[in-house]
Each structure stands twice: as structure tokens, then as C-alpha cells.
Structure 1
């Protein structure tokens, strides 16, 4: 089925993108989802476990000389700093050296760092490997999101991406329940239980690694980086596998793309592409990430202290409330994800952001008037986060599909790092004093800040969101290598792809 045209200057014409996008859903796609998507469960497990076992780590007999404030403050900040720096570092390497190499390396970094966290014997050791755990997880976001979007057919891309990103909350549920078990001294000694929680993360990561070894390199990355024959052979194999599974002949691919092969893209070209060629899309990405980051900190930062201080909930049972909220978070992307592919990106992104912000305003108003109990407050949060989680997941989907192929992983890394820094550093600085003061009005203000930024991000999406549903990635953002092929004479040796603004419409004639 493969058709490949070569020219002496490294310019090729290929149907690989169209061939991938016209594939029906198959076992091969499930293998990709399981091998790549389950890392978000690990992230949710990591974040939740540490927050819930902080009190145990600071107790005498835990085997670690550390305070509760150091766990929730220094260690949490270092994890965030590691995630931000890991996303940027591995994001650049992912665009340069390929998706598969990096999603194997980043998982290996996570596994090693988590295992070494479990054997911590002093505070500095714990801090160091929390940073390195975040470093690996941050790299996962860039490598995995770019690989998923490039391997999943266009008509399924939105829902699959949302559900995978939303699976973070399955890990959060598991982490909350696991921490309840681990903190039970009738089952595990004080110095063992918390170590086993990190050990479980290692076991899950090893299982994922076994599956991930079989996930292929992105053919889209391969044909741009001088490995076009490998890309064609890979797609040939997948097509034969799908035809055997379905018992039907695949239709002819609709269209081709001509690109000038290249091996790397510099930081200057990446920055110029993001902010000069696509300024509205850059504003959109920043708005979505910062909005969702502040909303989640407005609600979840000091979650336990809100329940304890305002509703007299025993501190040992807050994990059960968090499990309920985490389940609501997962249901949002699961049930609304399909609409991002059918109703469209613009109405769903804008709608989930604005609606979740408005619902949080209502929750803040009822809380301020003293009309809520611990149960009804949790119910309100579940409704808010049902929509907010779908919106937050769509932020990752958006930045992974609206920029050119050669900058995809770095774009994901950049916007993830900005959003994570805003939520994990600026957010706590703002909300810590508000939610922990014990004053109802301060907590209401925290809610309103998060709600306002979410609504504003939704308004930005109304004007700047890209109608990317059911479209090929190459049609949404023309690859820099395709721009170079279109503007470079056949006998030229090189071209600066960033010198020509990206055309609108299809990446190639249909």
C-alpha cells in the first residue's frame, strides 16, 4: 500500500499521515493507549500519596527525620520544579531524537527515582529523589502526548487524548485509598507502610514498561527525520494487521504531503514558530494551562484543612472525600470526551472552562453563606470538577495538536511548564494563606480567583480555539518541513522553514 517519492535534495512525498488517520480502531491502538496512557495514573498516584502520607513521614518512628511542612512545602515544590524542568529538557530531546527513545528513558528515570525515594534515610535524600521523580514525570508529558496524537486516527484523537489525561484521577483515587491502608499501623509498621506506597508505583511502572517496549516510533516523526522507508514499512505492517483483524480491505488514503527532511529544529526556530507564526494559538495555550492550574489549586490546595477547619471532618478520613472528588474528575473526560470530536473543540473547550468557573462561583456563594456541609460541599466540587477536568485535559490536547510537527513535544513541554509553575508555585503562595486562615471570606476569595481565571480562559477559547476536530495534524498546523519543501527549489541544499508563515487549510492538495 505504500507510496513514497524521493528527490535528490531530501524532499519526499508520502501518504503516511493519511494512511494513519483512515485506520479503524483496532487492537494496535489499544496497545498504544495502554502502553503510553497509563503513565498519568502513576502521576496521580505519586501526587496524592505524598500529600496523604505527609503526616506519617513527620512522626517519630517513620524512619525519616522530616517535618510535615517540609513534605508538603519543600518536597512538593521540588517535585513541581522537577516536572517543569523535565518537561522542557525531555521535550527538546523528544523532538530531536524521537518519541520512543524518550518515552522509554523518561519512564526509566521515574522508576529509578521512585524506587530510591522508597529507601530514603534522610530529608535531603527524599528531596533529591522527589525532584528526580518529577523530572521523569514531566518528561513523560511531552513524549507521551506527542506520540499519542501522532498515532491515533484523527476522528478519535480528541476523546482518546482527554480520557488518557483524565486517567490521572484514577491514580489519585488509588493513591488516596492506598494511603489510608498504608497509614494503618495495625497492618504495617510506621517505617514500612509509606515505603510500600512508593514501591507500588515502581511495580506499576515496570508493568507499563513491559507493554511500552512494543509501542512503535511515530511514523510522522520518522519520515521527517530521514527514516521514511522505516515509516512506510511500519504503516504497511499495521495496515496488514488491521485488515486481518477486520476482514476488510482498507480504503485508499485521501491525500499526500511533500516535506523536506530535516534532523533537528533549533530553539530560535521553535520560539519564532510558537510566538510569531502562531501568536493567537500561543495565547490560547497559555490561557488554558494557567486557568486550569489556578482552578485546581483554588479547590484542592488545602483540601484537607478546609474539611477539617470548616466542617470538623477528622483528618484521618479526608482521603475518602478526596476519592469521591477524584472519581468525578475522571468521569468528566470519560463522558464528555466524545463531544470534543463531534460537537467540536471550540464549543467544548470554551463551554467546559466557562461552565466550571461559573459553577465554582455558585459554590463559593453557597459556602460563604454557610449553606453547605462536608457532603454537599464535596458534591458541589464533584460537579465543578466534572466539567473542569474535561477542560483541563483539553488543554493538553490543544497544545499537542495546534503547532507544527517539529515543535510538538517542545510546545507541550513549554505550556505544561508554565501552567505547572503557575499552579504548583504561584498558586500555593496565593491560596495557602487564604484557605488556611480559617476565615470563610478568605476561602471564598480563593475560589473566586480560580473561577475567574477559568472563565477568562474560556472566553479566550471562544475567539482563539482551533476547529481541529476530525482533522489531520498536518492540516491543523503545516509542518515546517512541508513549508520548506514548498519554498525550496529542487536543487537547493537547505531552507529555514520558519521564514514562511504557515499556510491555512490543507497541508497538501486533495
Structure 2
């Protein structure tokens, strides 16, 4: 059994050396190598959502609306399981190992989805895909936060998580061509979407060789020499790229490294000293998960069932929606580092909730067309996307380093299990009812969760902007 007892104290300046670095080529490679997974995920998740009506055809998988909701739930269950399992492994064995393993699992699930032959095979392959992406959330967000300097951490985290929607936009553009019967037969076009996405994802494995293990993780896990060598290599790369000598670090930290940190120590921290932060992270995660799994991922079904948009044209409506989702984190991200976390997080959740209430009424009353419905969602998700990304940022930076990946995993898993596994099934049933008022009632539930999350952030939020991770939450090894 690995030794979990602390070693003699050491004093390290590694966190402060990483935080004083200027933006450089190294940081850009980290963002691309790790964040590009979200683009790929956005591509294939949008393909699934946009292909929903096509997969109901007798020429494809003959899925019902309830089947499509169940497939989404299988994906969510896989993501929850992957997040918890790989979150624990990430904190125990390091970030670098896990973000290779989870990417391979994810790509396997995507490629297998192209060969599904019925509901159960498709659902199972989506489950495998979810296992991989759940692990990616824990490992990748941990690594990015621990390698990016404090003054850029907020905007970079939001943009990386928001880059999902670049893939979604690409997926929206691709779907009309995949469903064009003049180009592909009905049972071939949808499969190509998964196959191409999986093949593109293989290139990410090559990009990740530029990303080192987190020096912060290394120094707290009895690998001080490796941490020192890694930081020196990063500093040399930054100095070469900028042509300037780095200033000395401002501060140091005393830690008691361990090979492993037991689950008892980790959970006692999350449920004891940081209990209020746990409540906050959970509220944000549940709200954003319910919103996206209920509203965005059923958008194709709404267009088809209530506005009678042909399935081949659904992608054209999803495209502006995806662009709005990406523009939110891109344009608002810097304000999370300047105006501050608490004001921006509470504000984006509150605005999203209020706009959703208004749109729910207009939809139920039959006052919207497919064009105005799409425009309304674009405005809502401009703010909601920044809010959702800030939920991941919050969960990843307000807990001690030794529990960061598991904290992300736990709150992602619980939030997704509550908001993500229930909402697709719920909305699948609501849409099948054919009643716009029933569907609107689901939107009201989503809006209420957003407003509750805004209140939780205002009351319990942490002003983490510009601060080192170690000053936001003392390491368990300190």
C-alpha cells in the first residue's frame, strides 16, 4: 500500500515562478494541446444533436425521441463515471498520464459510434465516449489551471472551456452536407460525421507531447527534482521566446510532500473547512448542466417538432447558436480577471436565467418563429456559456491542489448526474407530448436553477482573480 505519511518539510518557490511568467509560446501550446479536445467534443456532440431527427428515420437507427433522450443520458452517465474514476487517478498519479489515457478512450468511443447498428449499440458507444470526456474534464482543467499564470487564468479557462462551441459551429456546418441525399445515402452520412471526428482527434495525441506534468503536482508528491527540472525548462523556453530575463519570484511556500493523499484527508477538506465552497461549486454545476442538457441538446428536436424545420436544415440554425456560445467566453472572459469572479459569475448566471424565463413564455404562447427562437437562444447562451465555463473555473481553483482534479470530478459528476442525466429524459418526454406549455415548464425549471446559482455565487463566491492557487486555498501538504 502506498505510503501516505508526510515527508519532512521543504520550501519551494515553484508556484510563484510559474505565476510570474509572461504569456509565451509555451502557454499557447498548452492551451492548444489540452483545449483542442473540447473543440472535437463540440463537433461530435453537435453532430449527435443535429442528427437527432435523421436517426429517427427507418433508413438509419429508427430511434424515438425518448431513445434520443436516453442516448444522451448514457453519454452523461459515462461522463460522470469517467470523471470520478479518472479524477481520483489524476490526483494520485498525475495529470499527464491521465490526459493521454482519457483521450484514447474518448476517441475509441467516437469511432465506434460510427458503426452502431441499433439503439443499444449506439447508447453503449456513447457511454464509452462519455467515460473519456469525463476524465478529460478533470485532468485537463487541473493541468491548465496549474500551468497558466494567475493573471491570465480566468480568461484562459473560460476560453478553453468555451472552445467546445467552435467544434459545435463546425458540426453545424457539416451536418447539412452529411444529410444531403445527393451526396450520401441516409445510413452513411451520419456515420461519416463520427468517423471523420475520430480521425481528426488522433492528431491531438501528437500535440500533447508539448505539455509537461504539472510542477505543482510533482513538488507535493515527493518529486521535487523532477518539478525543478520541469520549471527550469519552462523558464528557459519562455526567456528564449520573449528575449527577456525573468524577474525573481516573489515568495515561497513550505510543503510536506506525500506520495499519495488519502481520500479521507481529501473529503474531510472538501466537506469540512471548504464546505461552503463545495455548496457553491455544486450549485453552479447543477444549474449549467441542467440548462445545456435540457435546452441546447434538444434544440434540433424543438425545431423539427414545433417549427417543422427539415432535418437537413437543422444545422444552419445550430450554427449561430454555437457562435453565440463561443463569443460569450471570448468577449467576456477578460472581465472575470478584471471586474472580478464574484460579480461576473453572479451576473452571467442571473442574466441567463431572466432571459430564459422571458423566452419560455414567448415560446409557450406561440409568439416565436424558428428565426426569432434561434435569435433568443443566441442572446441567452452568450451569457450562459460564460456562466457555464465559470462553473468549471470555480470548481478547479477554490480547492487545495492535492484535491483539485477530484474536486472538479466530484462536482462535475454530481452536477451532471442531477442536471444532465435527468433533463434529456425529461425533455424527450416533454417534446413528445407535443405541448409547448409543457416544454416551457421545463425551461422555467432551468431558469430557476440559474437564478439560484447566481444567488449562491453572490453570497459564497471567492474573489480569486489575479491570485495564486495556493493563496486561494492552502495546499493540504502545507
Normalised by the length of structure 2, the TM-score is: 0.94
State the match for 1:4 in structure 2: none
Per the alignment, do residues 146 and 233 of structure 1 end up closer, same or farther by CA in structure 2, a change over 3 Å counting?
same
Query: SS of the residue aligned with 1:13?
Result: strand
State the match for 1:269 in structure 2: 265
Per the alignment, do residues 55 and 434 of structure 1 end up closer, same or farther by CA in structure 2, a change over 3 Å counting?
closer
1:60 to partner: Cα distance? 4.5
**Could you tell me how far apart the structure 1 residues matched to 2:353 and 2:294 are?**
11
**Could you tell me how far apart the structure 2 residues matched to 1:236 and 1:110 are?**
33
1:459 is the counterpart of 2:455: yes
Single out whichever of 90-99 and 375-384 deviates more from structure 2.
Answer: 375-384
State the match for 2:338 in structure 1: 342
Q: How does 1:371-450 map to 2 (within 5 A)?
A: 371-450=367-446
1:341 to partner: Cα distance? 0.3
Per the alignment, do residues 116 and 305 of structure 1 end up closer, same or farther by CA in structure 2, a change over 3 Å counting?
closer
1:178 to partner: Cα distance? 1.9
Q: Write the deviation string for residues 239-278 of structure 1: whole angstroms up to 9, x where unpaired.
A: 1221122221111101001100111122222221111111
Q: How does 1:97-108 map to 2 (within 5 A)?
A: 97-108=93-104
Per the alignment, do residues 360 and 61 of structure 1 end up closer, same or farther by CA in structure 2, a change over 3 Å counting?
closer
Q: Write the deviation string for residues 40-88 of structure 1: whole angstroms up to 9, x where unpaired.
A: 11221222212233444454554xx553457513332221111110000
**Could you tell me how far apart the structure 2 residues matched to 1:147 and 1:301 are?**
28
Single out whichever of 89-98 and 197-206 deviates more from structure 2.
Answer: 197-206
Of the two, which has the highest radius of gyration? Answer: 1
**Could you tell me how far apart the structure 1 residues matched to 2:126 and 2:312 are?**
24
1:296 to partner: Cα distance? 2.4
C-alpha contact 1:54 1:68 (8 A) present in aligned 2: no
1:243 is the counterpart of 2:239: yes
Query: SS of the residue aligned with 2:203?
Result: helix
1:10 to partner: Cα distance? 3.3
- 2:41 counterpart (37, 40, 43): 43
Q: Write the deviation string for residues 372-418 of structure 1: whole angstroms up to 9, x where unpaired.
A: 22211211111111001100000000000000001000000011111
Q: Write the deviation string for residues 13-33 of structure 1: whole angstroms up to 9, x where unpaired.
A: 111000000000000000000
**Could you tell me how far apart the structure 1 residues matched to 2:385 and 2:47 are?**
20
Query: SS of the residue aligned with 2:116?
Result: coil
1:365 is the counterpart of 2:361: yes
C-alpha contact 2:69 2:428 (8 A) present in aligned 1: no
Single out whichever of 449-458 and 147-156 deviates more from structure 2.
Answer: 449-458
**Could you tell me how far apart the structure 2 residues matched to 1:345 and 1:380 are?**
26
- 2:315 counterpart (319, 325, 340): 319
1:78 is the counterpart of 2:74: yes
CA RMSD of aligned residues (A): 1.9
State the match for 1:203 in structure 2: 199
State the match for 1:507 in structure 2: none
> Which sections of structure 1, spanning at least 5 residues, go unmatched?
1-7, 483-510
Query: SS of the residue aligned with 1:480?
Result: coil
State the match for 2:3 in structure 1: none
1:196 to partner: Cα distance? 1.6
C-alpha contact 1:298 1:449 (8 A) present in aligned 2: no
1:193 to partner: Cα distance? 2.0
1:298 to partner: Cα distance? 4.3
